[in-house]
Structures are given as C-alpha cells and as structure tokens.
C-alpha cells in the first residue's frame, strides 16, 4: 500500500481499477483547514492525464511495474524498434508512448521499457546522454557574460540551449530528465 503522503514523481498505484503514475505532486498545508496533496496523474494504459487532490491519509495498493532493459535500435516512421537484451526479440513501440525526453536518445542506447501486466506504457532513457553538437552559432571573442546561452542542434535532432563557448563538433552531456546542458564530455 502507498499513502498519498508518500507520493513522489514516478510512483505507480491502482486507483478505481486503473493503474496511474504520479507525474507531479505538491504537498499543500494551507493556513486554515487540513493539509492535502495536489497531483497530476497519468493513466499508464490510456495515457490520459488528470489533476486530482488527495488527503495525505488516503491509501492505495501499489502497482508493480516491470522495468526491462532493452536496446533502442532504429525508428521507421512512428514505430521505434527495441531489442530485448535477454531474448534478442525486436519489439516495436509507437512514438506516442515514448515521451518528450526520448529525443535525446541515439541508436544502440540501452533504455528501460516500462510495462504493466504485459502492456508497454513508457520508455525511460538514461539520465544523462553524451551527444555531439551538429549546428550552433559561433561564439565571439569577449562574449563572456555569465549564464548567457545560445541554441544548438544535437546529433539526434533535439534542440537545447548551451553556453556561448560550445562550438559545432563538441561532445556535451545532457540531462534527459530536464533537457538541459550539463557539461562538456
């Protein structure tokens, strides 16, 4: 059982016959009245997202989600193919299941495929990816103001903001959870 007071991002539980996952949560303690937990939850099967509030004492049965290591092979239109590292079976997954942070994943990268009772509902990329900058504006000498960034396109086609000293061809480390530049690789 999981209590609403113990909610964290990524926690999965069963509610009203559905399996839901916490996307965002916020513990609220108003000056007047009882505390509550404001959440944004996603139905892991249908993908529907709703906002709901809970009392911190509400309890729900935990849903056990299988996280399987697989290797991303390639994409063909809207289908992305993954290989099971144990059975070498290729599994196609629709692009709508992948999520926004998958744009940082390049081919032959190991990821975790999430499923509940055999139904795949998500893919977790590694937290950090080392990617090459394929296109960005050149930095100018003397342009050293702190916290100033410029747009850059990475080898996967994703666009992020990088510091001015980053040039085309540089390898950088990107946090896939936030989509932010971390450091040179």
CATH number of the domain to which 112 belongs: 2.40.50.140
How sure is the predictor about 153, in pLDDT bands with cuts at 50, 70 and 90? Answer: very high
Query: Is pTM beyond 0.85 here?
Result: no
75 shares a domain with 113: yes
pLDDT at 140: 65
List the beta bridge partners of residue 71. 83, 110
Query: Stretch 10-35: mean pLDDT, rounded?
Result: 87
70 shares a domain with 49: no
Q: How many domains does the chain have?
A: 3
27 shares a domain with 75: no
Question: How high does pLDDT run on average in the chain?
Answer: 86
pLDDT(17) > 70: yes
User: What range does the domain containing 8 cover?
Assistant: 2-60
Q: Tell me how far apart the alpha carbons of residues 107 and 155 are, in angstroms, rounded to a whole number.
A: 11
pLDDT at 110: 93
- Which of 124, 146, 170 finishes a domain? 124
Residue 97's CB: how many other CB atoms inside 10 A?
15
């Amino acid at each position: 059982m999981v209590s609403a007071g113990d909610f964290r991002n990524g926690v999965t539980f069963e509610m009203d016959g559905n399996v839901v996952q916490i996307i965002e949560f916020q513990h609220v303690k108003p000056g007047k009245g009882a505390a509550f937990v404001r959440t944004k939850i996603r139905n892991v099967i249908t993908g529907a997202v709703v906002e709901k509030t809970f009392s911190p004492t509400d309890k729900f049965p935990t849903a056990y989600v299988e996280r399987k290591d697989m290797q991303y092979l390639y994409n063909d239109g809207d289908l992305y193919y993954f290989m099971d590292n144990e059975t070498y079976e290729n599994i196609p997954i629709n692009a709508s299941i992948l999520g926004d942070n998958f744009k940082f994943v390049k081919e032959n990268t190991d990821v975790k495929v999430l499923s509940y009772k055999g139904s795949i509902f998500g893919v977790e990329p590694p937290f950090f990816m080392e990617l090459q900058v394929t296109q960005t504006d050149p930095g100018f000498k003397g342009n050293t103001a702190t916290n100033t960034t410029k747009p850059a396109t990475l080898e996967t086609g994703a666009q992020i903001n990088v510091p001015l000293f980053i040039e085309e061809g540089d390898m950088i480390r990107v946090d896939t959870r936030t989509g932010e530049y971390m450091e040179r690789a």
